[in-house]
Structure 1
């Protein structure tokens, strides 16, 4: 397994010339660099940042595949999770919505296939376990199908970004940029530079109230295969960037649309909550929908 970057685009926010009443924090979460920038009174920003740190820690304890005690790890081991946290249920619901929106291209049950390929094994047997429609959940219990396991790597960071953004709003802060693997801005004009490790600078996007998420199949290879997996679909694009109302939606769709031909991208991009989709072909051509 050769690791380059999990995401297809390195997205850098322009933090220059911050006003006097500005607060920022940088750290690590979900295996990536994260940051929060706030324009507003420090007496509001400091408690908001403390709450945000707690939300990030709690979100990792729910959805991390690398923490054996996380809710997701326990679900994958046992096949059942009783009395799931309300945030776990919210993410399950969002994943189901993404599955429906994309005609099944977004499917968190690909985890057994990911594990097989990452360990150099043939993935044919793992493919048989894939299928979100076999997952059952309600407020009392989540149950997986036989041999199933979930990964939320294509949606959890966006979900965490939205949770932290809500913390900012609840604390009376309306001019913020949150980056927990994906970006969501409120208030002022946030300049987000888009650059690809192979193609260099691709352009700039401006966020005022919304989110942007990006994915690249070649950012991580599993043997001869890209890391964005599906039992039958293969990548159509080198890079995809989705701008949407929420980071959860942008994250899940940027993952899935890597696997979609252009006519499907155009159809999906017309759905509620999606603002713009940027496609980069394997030849380096850039298309905005």
Structure 2
């Protein structure tokens, strides 16, 4: 899938006071999208070592959740079972279950067969019969799917990656960092000011401009990428259609913001407000 997020982070290096020093910047790719990290408080040599650790962590996340490599997720979809999943895998499954319940099933990683059928002109009605998070069995020793099921974590994995990198950098002693791996985690400040996020619609129109400090941001646009001759790439597992063209959510962690922004695209405002009540730290930053 192409990048479905329409989020621009304005680092505003020139606006940083001289005492803040020159930030170190890493760019690369993660989970199929362009990635970028802006790090304050490190010289070039120190940053090189830290960024090497970042790349290793991103490779590990790809090995768990990518749909384009021989990842744990690909093996689970192929075999119907995954023995002894890594703790971070079961943790993300648990969060997915929480978001699934809070959104009344609007967030459901078992939508993958429907996504593939829609993208390829396949049997969408047959694919709908394979959807059902309640049929996913998760235990420390094994994750198991019912026959024919398949999962995608494209609606939450980029946020998970941002959180993992944030934890790595925080643990290394860095408190002023911007992490953009498709979804954003902002630690501390950008010099004397907060990190600034410009939230834009798929056509580039500005929807909002907000400051971020120790907070994450995720933005989803159903028609940002089209599949199967023009269908929205964010599908309602329950059979509905998108209610919004763009939804942007901030939260203390990026995985929660990511999952909620994905689900909210196919929910009405009353249902969104009910779901938000289950995540007191999350809030809507833009919805259109």
Distance 1:80 1:197, change over 3 A: same
For the residues of structure 2 that align with 1:15 and 1:170, how far apart are their CA atoms? 25
For the residues of structure 2 that align with 1:142 and 1:226, how far apart are their CA atoms? 30
What is the aligned partner in structure 2 of residue 227 from structure 1?
Answer: 233
What is the aligned partner in structure 1 of residue 148 from structure 2?
Answer: 147
* Root mean square deviation of aligned Cα: 1.7
What is the aligned partner in structure 2 of residue 213 from structure 1?
Answer: 218
Matches within 5 A, 1:59-138: 59-67=61-69, 69-138=70-139
Please give the per-residue CA displacement for 1:239-261, whole angstroms capped at 9, x wherever unaligned.
Answer: 00000010000000000000110
Please give the per-residue CA displacement for 1:150-177, whole angstroms capped at 9, x wherever unaligned.
Answer: 0000000000100000001100101111
TM-score normalised to structure 1 length: 0.91
For the residues of structure 2 that align with 1:202 and 1:74, how far apart are their CA atoms? 40
For the residues of structure 2 that align with 1:263 and 1:273, how far apart are their CA atoms? 16
Match among 5, 10, 28 for residue 7 of structure 2: 10
What is the aligned partner in structure 2 of residue 35 from structure 1?
Answer: 36
- Does the aligned pair in 1 maintain the 2:202–2:223 contact within 8 Å? no
- Does the aligned pair in 2 maintain the 1:158–1:247 contact within 8 Å? yes
Query: 230-239 or 74-83: which moved more?
Result: 230-239
What is the aligned partner in structure 1 of residue 49 from structure 2?
Answer: 47
- The alpha carbon displacement at 1:193 in A equals 1.2
Please give the per-residue CA displacement for 1:51-105, whole angstroms capped at 9, x wherever unaligned.
Answer: 11110011011111011x1111100000000111112111111111111121111
Match among 186, 192, 206 for residue 197 of structure 2: 192
- The alpha carbon displacement at 1:5 in A equals 4.8
TM-score normalised to structure 2 length: 0.91
Count of matched residue positions in the alignment of Structure 1 and Structure 2: 277
- Does the aligned pair in 2 maintain the 1:105–1:233 contact within 8 Å? no
Please give the per-residue CA displacement for 1:171-228, whole angstroms capped at 9, x wherever unaligned.
Answer: 0101111111100111111011112232512221111111000001111222343111
Distance 1:51 1:114, change over 3 A: same
Q: SS at the partner of 1:100?
A: helix
- Does the aligned pair in 2 maintain the 1:184–1:246 contact within 8 Å? yes
What is the aligned partner in structure 1 of residue 271 from structure 2?
Answer: 264
- The alpha carbon displacement at 1:12 in A equals 2.6
Distance 1:198 1:207, change over 3 A: same
- The alpha carbon displacement at 1:276 in A equals 2.0
- The alpha carbon displacement at 1:271 in A equals 2.9
Query: 260-269 or 163-172: which moved more?
Result: 260-269
Please list every run of 5 or more consecutive structure 2 residues that lacks an aligned counterpart in the other structure.
Answer: none
For the residues of structure 2 that align with 1:58 and 1:200, how far apart are their CA atoms? 35
What is the aligned partner in structure 2 of residue 287 from structure 1?
Answer: none
For the residues of structure 2 that align with 1:5 and 1:174, how far apart are their CA atoms? 28
Q: SS at the partner of 1:181?
A: coil
- Does the aligned pair in 2 maintain the 1:191–1:204 contact within 8 Å? yes
